[in-house]
Chain A
Amino acid sequence: MNNIFVYLEIEDGIVSDVSLELLTKGRSLANELNCKLEALAAGYGLDQVGQQVFPYGVDVLHLADDKRLEPYTSLPHTSLLVKLFQEEKPQIAFMGATTIGRDLGPRVSSALFSGLTADCTSLEIGGYEDRKAGKTYENLLFQIRPAFGGNIVATIVNPDCRPQMATVREGVMKKEIVDPAYKGETRKLKVSDYVSDADFVVEVIERHIEKSKLNIKSAPIIVAGGYGVGSVENFKLLHELAAVLGGEVGASRAAVDAGLAEHERQIGQTGVTVRPKLYIACGISGQIQHIAGMQESAMVISINNDPRAPINAIADYNIIGNIEEVIPKMIKYYKKNSK
Chain B
Amino acid sequence: MSFNIVVLAKQVPDTRNVGKDAMKADGTVNRGALPAIYNPEDLNALEQALRIKDKFPGTKVQVLTMGPARAAEIIRESLYRGADGGFLLSGREFAGSDTLATSYALACAIRKMGKIDMIICGRQAIDGDTAQVGPQVAEKLGLPQVTYAEEILKIEDGKITVKRRLERGVETVRCPFPMLLTVNASAANCRPRNAKLTLKYKRANTATERNSLEEDCGDFYKTHPHLNITEWGTADIDHEPEWLGLSGSPTKVKSIQNVVFTAKESKTLDASDNTIEELMKELIANHTIG
B-binding residues in A (CB < 8 A):
71, 73-75, 78, 98-99, 102-107, 109-111, 113-119, 128, 130, 142-143, 146-161, 201-212, 221, 245-246, 254, 257, 263-264, 270, 277-278, 287-288, 291-292, 295, 298-302, 307-308, 312-322, 325-326, 329-330, 333-334, 336-338
Task: Assess whether B16 is in contact with A106, with CB atoms less than 8 Å apart.
Answer: no
Q: How far is the CA of A281 from the CA of B275 in the complex (A)?
A: 18
Q: Which chain B positions have C-beta within 8 A of A291?
A: 261
**A203 contact from B170, B174, B253, B258, Cβ within 8 A:** B174
Task: Assess whether B252 is in contact with A209, with CB atoms less than 8 Å apart.
Answer: no
Q: How far is the CA of A223 from the CA of B45 in the complex (A)?
A: 34
Of B49-57, B78-86, B98-106, the one with at least 4 CB within 8 A of chain A: B98-106
* 5 residue pairs from A and B, CB less than 8 Å apart: A111-B139, A203-B173, A209-B171, A314-B264, A316-B267
B241 at the interface (CB under 8 A from A): no
**B18 contact from A119, A205, A288, A295, Cβ within 8 A:** A288
Q: Which chain A positions have C-beta within 8 A of B218?
A: none
Closest to A132 in B: B246
Q: How far is the CB of A227 from chain B (nearest CB, A)?
A: 10
A288-B259, A313-B264 given; A118·B129 CB < 8 A: yes
Task: Assess whether A334 is in contact with B284, with CB atoms less than 8 Å apart.
Answer: yes
Interface residue SS majority, chain B? mixed
Q: How far is the CA of A118 from the CA of B252 in the complex (A)?
A: 14
Task: Assess whether B264 is in contact with A110, with CB atoms less than 8 Å apart.
Answer: no
B104-128 at interface with A (beta carbon < 8 Å): 126-128
Closest to A211 in B: B168
B136 at the interface (CB under 8 A from A): yes
B195 at the interface (CB under 8 A from A): no
Task: Assess whether A270 is in contact with B280, with CB atoms less than 8 Å apart.
Answer: no
Closest to B289 in A: A245
Q: Which of A319, A321, A322 has the most CB of B within 10 A?
A: A319
Task: Assess whether A338 is in contact with B290, with CB atoms less than 8 Å apart.
Answer: yes
B213 at the interface (CB under 8 A from A): no
Closest to A11 in B: B168
Q: Which of B132, B144, B167, B168 has the most CB of A within 10 A?
A: B168
**B254 contact from A156, A300, A329, Cβ within 8 A:** A156
Q: Which chain B positions have C-beta within 8 A of A270?
A: 129
Of B2-10, B145-153, B197-205, B225-233, the one with at least 4 CB within 8 A of chain A: B145-153
Q: Which chain A positions have C-beta within 8 A of B258?
A: 151-153
Q: Which chain A positions have C-beta within 8 A of B251?
A: 115-117, 143, 156-158
Q: How far is the CA of A117 from the CA of B173 in the complex (A)?
A: 27
Closest to A213 in B: B168
**B280 contact from A202, A313, A337, Cβ within 8 A:** A337
Q: How far is the CA of A204 from the CA of B288 in the complex (A)?
A: 47
Q: Which chain A positions have C-beta within 8 A of B129?
A: 118-119, 270
Q: How far is the CB of A314 from chain B (nearest CB, A)?
A: 5
Q: How far is the CA of A107 from the CA of B103 in the complex (A)?
A: 11
Q: Which chain A positions have C-beta within 8 A of B254?
A: 128, 142, 154-157
Among all A-B residue pairs, the 6 with the closest Cβ atoms: A149-B15, A321-B271, A115-B250, A115-B251, A110-B139, A106-B135
Q: How far is the CA of A204 from the CA of B175 in the complex (A)?
A: 9
Task: Assess whether B281 is in contact with A315, with CB atoms less than 8 Å apart.
Answer: no
Q: How far is the CB of B18 from chain A (nearest CB, A)?
A: 6
Q: Which chain B positions have C-beta within 8 A of A221?
A: 289
Closest to B40 in A: A257
Q: How far is the CB of B187 from chain A (nearest CB, A)?
A: 13
Q: How far is the CA of A99 from the CA of B182 in the complex (A)?
A: 12
B234 at the interface (CB under 8 A from A): no
Closest to B98 in A: A115
Task: Assess whether A318 is in contact with B271, with CB atoms less than 8 Å apart.
Answer: no
Q: How far is the CB of A106 from chain B (nearest CB, A)?
A: 4
Q: How far is the CB of B201 from chain A (nearest CB, A)?
A: 29
B263 at the interface (CB under 8 A from A): yes
B216 at the interface (CB under 8 A from A): no
Q: Which chain A positions have C-beta within 8 A of B267?
A: 316-318
Q: How far is the CA of A288 from the CA of B257 in the complex (A)?
A: 13
Closest to B248 in A: A113
B136-161 at interface with A (beta carbon < 8 Å): 136-140, 144-148, 161
Task: Assess whether B168 is in contact with A264, with CB atoms less than 8 Å apart.
Answer: yes
A106-B139, A210-B169, A314-B261 given; A326·B271 CB < 8 A: yes
Q: How far is the CA of A206 from the CA of B166 in the complex (A)?
A: 13
**B269 contact from A208, A209, A295, A319, Cβ within 8 A:** A319
A205-B173, A295-B261, A317-B266 given; A153·B256 CB < 8 A: yes
Task: Assess whether A74 is in contact with B147, with CB atoms less than 8 Å apart.
Answer: yes
Q: Which of B146, B176, B254 has the most CB of A within 10 A?
A: B254
Task: Assess whether B147 is in contact with A99, with CB atoms less than 8 Å apart.
Answer: yes
Task: Assess whether A313 is in contact with B261, with CB atoms less than 8 Å apart.
Answer: yes
Q: Which chain B positions have C-beta within 8 A of A102?
A: 131-132, 147
Q: Which chain A positions have C-beta within 8 A of B264?
A: 300, 313-316
Task: Assess whether A160 is in contact with B289, with CB atoms less than 8 Å apart.
Answer: no
B194 at the interface (CB under 8 A from A): no
A106-B99, A337-B281 given; A210·B168 CB < 8 A: yes
Q: Which chain B positions have C-beta within 8 A of A315?
A: 264, 266
Interface flags for B260-290 (1: CB within 8 Å of A; 0: not) read: 0111101111110101110111011000111
Q: How far is the CB of A330 from chain B (nearest CB, A)?
A: 6
